[in-house]
Chains A and B, each alone.
Chain A
């Protein structure tokens, strides 16, 4: 039963002849994948951001188009009449009378007509 101490157990850790540890490639691969995944995720995030930005820019342009000033008729805001409503008619009536109405002048007549 004492021989059992040196018995080669067919496992990598317990075998004294093979002291070299096996290379852990799995960890290295994982880092690359993580790097790749992180790069991909950054790219995806950038794409999403760019998409959002371009979308928002498009909306801004559309709203700018809607805000282009158009020709309108004059508003009453700047033409506020200082005369109260109850006097407007009276003022207009008087104003009409103050407008020059030309006289109907007499016709030109040849007073010598019929005289020799």
Chain B
């Protein structure tokens, strides 16, 4: 799989005309996805607030039940727990929807992997809907406890899906940026007034592109790393973020080199 990603990235680098042709429609899609993401993000933020309210209400009812321990206080605690669990599931679903939609933005840079990440998120959204349907029919606290255990176990996978999606989004964004820089570099390089003294900068760009690809590959590999403990989530996100930041740093340097070249040509 890493070799496949390398092949895709190299293909994008060596075929700038293809990228140029696909740019207008890709840009429209990208803008639409960004707008859709904003909407889903707002919905998620609303769900966060709803969950926080019901969660603090649940904590309050739990405290009252601990203090008085009557049938009424016990029932109040159960109802508030049920509501908080439903709201939590809705919040997580809203979050998953937001990051799933955001993945559409630069999906063309690695459609297969991105689709896989989106499918995982989509399936989890369905699972959360099913959990809420079950919660609606539950009338005893033991039923909620079973569902809480299921959620806890499932959440290790959910975290993996979430962080993979976050890393994939940034991988795609970086690849897209490099493609655009490469397109621009090829156009500038074909200019008649292109100077021989810029060769050193073009060589630098080549070298930094290789370093960029390596950092991208490292970040991608981290998302595929499996945890030794089956039920434990291995948090690869901090390490992947370092690799992604490195990749972005190379992109910034390549971009600066390109600016230097165009400035020299222009003067």
A contact set with B: CB distance below 8 Å: 82-84, 87, 90-91, 93-95, 97-98, 100-101, 103-107, 109-111, 113-116
CA distance A93 to B31 in the complex (A): 13
- Given A104-B41, A107-B91, A114-B145, A87 and B184 contact (CB-CB distance below 8 Å): yes
Additional 12 contacts, C-beta under 8 A, given A104-B95, A113-B88, A116-B145: A82-B263, A83-B263, A91-B184, A93-B180, A94-B184, A97-B173, A98-B251, A106-B92, A113-B81, A113-B85, A114-B147, A115-B148
A115 touches B248 (CB 8 A): no
- Given A98-B248, A113-B84, A116-B145, A106 and B180 contact (CB-CB distance below 8 Å): no
* Residues of A contacting B81 in the complex (Cβ-Cβ under 8 angstroms): 113-114
* Residues of B contacting A84 in the complex (Cβ-Cβ under 8 angstroms): 262, 266
* Residues of B contacting A114 in the complex (Cβ-Cβ under 8 angstroms): 81, 85, 144-145, 147-148
Tell yes or no: B219 within 8 A of A by CB.
no
A94 touches B181 (CB 8 A): yes
Tell yes or no: B107 within 8 A of A by CB.
no
Tell yes or no: B117 within 8 A of A by CB.
no
B contact set with A: CB distance below 8 Å: 41, 44, 48, 51, 55, 58, 81, 84-85, 88, 91-92, 95, 98-99, 102, 144-145, 147-149, 151-152, 155, 159, 162, 166, 169-170, 173, 176-177, 180-181, 183-184, 187-188, 248, 251-252, 255, 259, 262-263, 266-267
- Given A111-B151, A113-B81, A97 and B262 contact (CB-CB distance below 8 Å): no
B151 touches A87 (CB 8 A): no
B180 touches A82 (CB 8 A): no
Q: Looking at the assembled complex, report how far the CB atom of A93 sits from the nearest CB atom of chain B, in whole angstroms.
A: 7
Q: In this complex, which of A94, A100, A111 has the most chain B Cβ atoms within 10 angstroms of its Cβ?
A: A94
- Given A82-B266, A87-B188, A94-B181, A111 and B152 contact (CB-CB distance below 8 Å): yes
Q: Looking at the assembled complex, report how far the CB atom of A112 sits from the nearest CB atom of chain B, in whole angstroms.
A: 8
CA distance A84 to B85 in the complex (A): 58
Q: Looking at the assembled complex, report how far the CB atom of B49 sits from the nearest CB atom of chain A, in whole angstroms.
A: 11
B145 touches A94 (CB 8 A): no
